[in-house]
Amino acid sequence: MKNQNMFDLLLPLSPEQLNNVKKLESTCTNIQSAWLSGYFWKVANQKSNSVSLKIDESNKNNQIITIVSASQTGNAKLLSERLYKFFNKNNKTTRLINAIDYQFKKIKNEKILILIISTQGEGEPPEEALSLYKFIMSKNAPNLNNLYYSIFGLGDTSYNLFCQAGKDFDKRFKELGARSLLNRFDSDIEYEENYYQWSQELLRSIDHNNKDYKSSSSLLEQEKKVIISKSYYTKKNPAQAVVLTNQKITGRNSKKDIHHIEIDISNIDINYEPGDALGVWYKNDTNLVRNILELLSINSSDKIKIKDNILTIFEALKNNFELTTNTKNIVKNYAILTENKFLKNIISDNSNLQSYTVQTPLIKMITDHPSKLSSEQLISLLRPLTPRLYSISSSQQEIDNEIHITVGVVKKLISGCLYLGGASSYLTQSLKPDDMIKIFIESNNNFRLPTDQNTPIIMIGAGTGIAPFRSFMQQRDNDGSKGKNWIFFGNPHFTEDFLYQLEWQRYIKKGLITNMHLAWSQDEEHKVYVQDRIRENGKEIWSWIEEGAQIYVCGNASNMAKDVEKTLLDIISENGSLNFEDACEFLNNLRLNKRYKRDIY
């Protein structure tokens, strides 16, 4: 034991690593050895400190670290809170701010800024970071010569523009003169390990010494305790609830399959507010799992170790891995493992790989190119399953012991075959009353009803985007709020797709809903969408805005939300006599004052 410690001090390599170094050394020329020594020196410097941070020594203890959390669905928020606690435990004076509340015009006064940011939409920053993003990218952004920063990007490799928001900030911060404390980390959906490594390196970088925090198990334990000790149910510690109702609410002839699902929470201590989303841990479809195993000649009772648990490969695929989303990495690794000529050709060209990945669900790739793999090889290809979020469509004050959600099945028809989304098909096709479901609340403080109950609100939603507005109306009804309520709702057909029609009619009769405008895209000769209805009512919308109305948008991020925003800008421009730039500034101010809120996906 004593010898082992001496060995660690003198040579910080394990015997296996030493062996590998010796093997490499024996194959190198003198020039190659010299190059390698320089190379490793550079790697070591990049790992510990990418720049040397010159902190005013007299002021070292008062150096404030600002952590900005830019999150849409809670992951970046969770990590920001963890980093905040971790830094505080390590005696760093730290403040944690949500991007929406960050006074970005004062960014030039910052010394150390840490940004934890996810990417949303198609390579865009999360909603709460949009104003910060616009400012930093604009010509008004200040010189940031005095700023040291680090960015942790969260994303998903199944999207084309992986971690783009973090990349954009990184590039722009550099252009503005800021210095990176540590190279940016871009993390896929399994971000835990990356986050851990980044946070340790970041702390070292700030401390500017090489204390090994990883070996300090007490610190790690403390950090873990902070996360686990939260009293409410979380993504990692979901509640088990019972399904009460699962009812299709679109008509028989509708192209959409949308379900209203009610969940009983009477035996669980769970609280939510209008605007929150429900996190759902889903299970993969049994037939899908069987097909994959059959196509790869894997026995479904093969045992496999996942973390510390031994499971059958069937159970593992059913509960622990994503099977419905494909990524470029999966295609690449499958091509290599199976040595499939067609796929190898695809992966040799990045744009081919990109379009193949987008167009080919995992099961289609395996069906078209079956092979023989071991359970371990299959698992090595897959990403861990992540829960999906659904806007809560009920108010707890109105219905007490239940949570309602409104789920649309995601489906793709490719060459005559129908491919369904993992969670949406589980929720709508397989869940029955009395089934158990694993859930948690993902709170969303950026999508709340106004605190002043007299404030008028305008709600714009298409398809399942109507869900949170049902919860808003239940809440306002329950509160007896006097504020006016205006709903814009769009879907394909009046007869098939008027979600919650009777409830809206009841609220209109009661006087709770002041205005309701509907857009049925397939009922008229020309397609009519919510943005068309908004434009038709531009003058009145402007007068509501002047009265202090808050505007809410929920639903599809790529089309609906963009078109609605464009229409709002036109209305502001026309009615406020503003040019386009000033209209953008006006809308941005509404966003900053929490009067323009979007929950888009």
Ligand X SMILES: Cc1cc2nc3c(=O)[nH]c(=O)nc-3n(C[C@H](O)[C@H](O)[C@H](O)COP(=O)(O)O)c2cc1C
Ligand Y SMILES: Cc1cc2nc3c(=O)[nH]c(=O)nc-3n(C[C@H](O)[C@H](O)[C@H](O)COP(=O)(O)OP(=O)(O)OC[C@H]3O[C@@H](n4cnc5c(N)ncnc54)[C@H](O)[C@@H]3O)c2cc1C
Residue 389 interacts with ligand Y (CB under 6 A): yes or no = yes
Among 77, 167, 383, 388, binds ligand Y (CB under 6 A): 388
359 is in an annotated binding site: no
Among 166, 408, 490, 492, binds ligand Y (CB under 6 A): 408
240 is in an annotated binding site: no
The closest alpha carbon to 72, from 14, 102, 13, 116, belongs to 116
Count the Cβ atoms, other than its own, within 10 Å of residue 84. 20
For residues 284 to 313, the per-residue mask of contacts with ligand Y, x marking binding by CB under 6 A and - elsewhere, is: ------------------------------
Stretch that binds ligand Y, among 9-17, 125-133, 329-337, 385-393 (CB under 6 A): 385-393
Residue 122 interacts with ligand X (CB under 6 A): yes or no = yes
Among 164, 320, 324, 485, binds ligand Y (CB under 6 A): 324
- DSSP class of 94: E
Among 385, 549, 557, 583, binds ligand X (CB under 6 A): 557
Among 7, 135, 159, 542, binds ligand X (CB under 6 A): 159
455 is in an annotated binding site: no
Q: How far apart are CA 256 and CA 467, in angstroms?
A: 15
**How do 417-420 and 258-264 pair as beta strands?**
unpaired
DSSP string, 517-572: EEEETTTSSS---HHHHHHHTHHHHHHHHHTT-EEEEEE-TTTHHHHHHHHHHHHH
Buried/exposed 267-277: b ≥16 CB within 10 Å, e otherwise: ebebebbbbbb
Distance from the Cα of residue 377 to its chain's centroid: 28
Q: How far apart are CA 247 and CA 406, in angstroms?
A: 10
347 vs 403 by CB, closer to ligand Y: 403
Stretch that binds ligand Y, among 295-303, 418-426, 499-507, 576-584 (CB under 6 A): 418-426
For residues 424 to 453, the per-residue mask of contacts with ligand Y, x marking binding by CB under 6 A and - elsewhere, is: x-----------------------------
Tell me which of ligand X, ligand Y, none is bound by residue 446, counting a contact when its beta carbon lies within the kind-specific cut-off of 5 to 8 angstroms. none
The closest alpha carbon to 320, from 225, 391, 384, belongs to 384
Tell me which of ligand Y, ligand X, none is bound by residue 484, counting a contact when its beta carbon lies within the kind-specific cut-off of 5 to 8 angstroms. none
| Smallest distance from ligand Y to CB 374, Å | 25
Residue 422 interacts with ligand Y (CB under 6 A): yes or no = yes
Residue 164 interacts with ligand Y (CB under 6 A): yes or no = no
66 is in an annotated binding site: no
Helices 350-359 and 328-338, axial angle in degrees (round to 10): 100
Task: Please check whether residue 125 is in contact with residue 119, taking contact to mean a CB–CB distance below 8 angstroms.
Answer: yes
Tell me which of ligand Y, ligand X, none is bound by residue 388, counting a contact when its beta carbon lies within the kind-specific cut-off of 5 to 8 angstroms. ligand Y
Q: How far apart are CA 225 and CA 551, in angstroms?
A: 40
List the interface residues with ligand Y, window 56-85 (CB under 6 A): 73
Among 421, 456, 490, 492, binds ligand Y (CB under 6 A): 421
Tokens representing residue 356 in the block: 């193949």
Residue 154 interacts with ligand X (CB under 6 A): yes or no = yes
Radius of gyration (Cα) for the chain, nearest Å? Answer: 27
List the interface residues with ligand X, window 126-145 (CB under 6 A): 126
DSSP string, 50-76: SS-----GGGGGGPEEEEEEE-SSSHH
Q: How far apart are CA 464 and CA 443, in angstroms?
A: 18
**How do 148-154 and 112-118 pair as beta strands?**
parallel
Residue type, 231: S
Residue 410 interacts with ligand Y (CB under 6 A): yes or no = yes
71 is in an annotated binding site: yes
Would you say how long the chain is, in residues? Answer: 601
Residue nearest to ligand Y (CB): 421
Residue 464 interacts with ligand Y (CB under 6 A): yes or no = yes
154 is in an annotated binding site: yes
52 vs 286 by CB, closer to ligand Y: 286
186 is in an annotated binding site: no
Tell me which of ligand X, ligand Y, none is bound by residue 126, counting a contact when its beta carbon lies within the kind-specific cut-off of 5 to 8 angstroms. ligand X
Tell me which of ligand X, ligand Y, none is bound by residue 408, counting a contact when its beta carbon lies within the kind-specific cut-off of 5 to 8 angstroms. ligand Y
Residue 198 interacts with ligand X (CB under 6 A): yes or no = no
| Smallest distance from ligand Y to CB 163, Å | 17
Residue 277 interacts with ligand Y (CB under 6 A): yes or no = yes
Contacts of 485 (CB under 8 A, 6+ apart): 456, 457, 459, 472, 473, 476, 507, 512, 513, 514, 515
Residue 163 interacts with ligand X (CB under 6 A): yes or no = yes
| Smallest distance from ligand X to CB 72, Å | 4
Residue 260 interacts with ligand Y (CB under 6 A): yes or no = no
Planar angle of CA 120, 123, 125, nearest 5 degrees:
50
206 vs 600 by CB, closer to ligand Y: 600
Distance from the Cα of residue 514 to its chain's centroid: 34
Contacts of 43 (CB under 8 A, 6+ apart): none
Planar angle of CA 315, 319, 320, nearest 5 degrees:
100
Among 7, 90, 108, 123, binds ligand X (CB under 6 A): 123
| Smallest distance from ligand Y to CB 424, Å | 3
Planar angle of CA 26, 31, 36, nearest 5 degrees:
70
Task: Please check whether residue 240 is in contact with residue 123, taking contact to mean a CB–CB distance below 8 angstroms.
Answer: no
234 vs 367 by CB, closer to ligand X: 234
157 is in an annotated binding site: yes
Residue 423 interacts with ligand Y (CB under 6 A): yes or no = yes
Site residues (vs ligand Y, CB under 6 A): 73, 277, 324-325, 388-391, 406-408, 410, 412, 421-424, 464, 467, 599, 601
Q: What residues are designated binding site?
A: 71-76, 118-121, 154-163, 324, 358, 388-391, 406-408, 421-424, 521-522, 527-531, 563, 601
Site residues (vs ligand X, CB under 6 A): 71-77, 118-123, 126, 154-156, 159, 161-164, 189, 557, 601
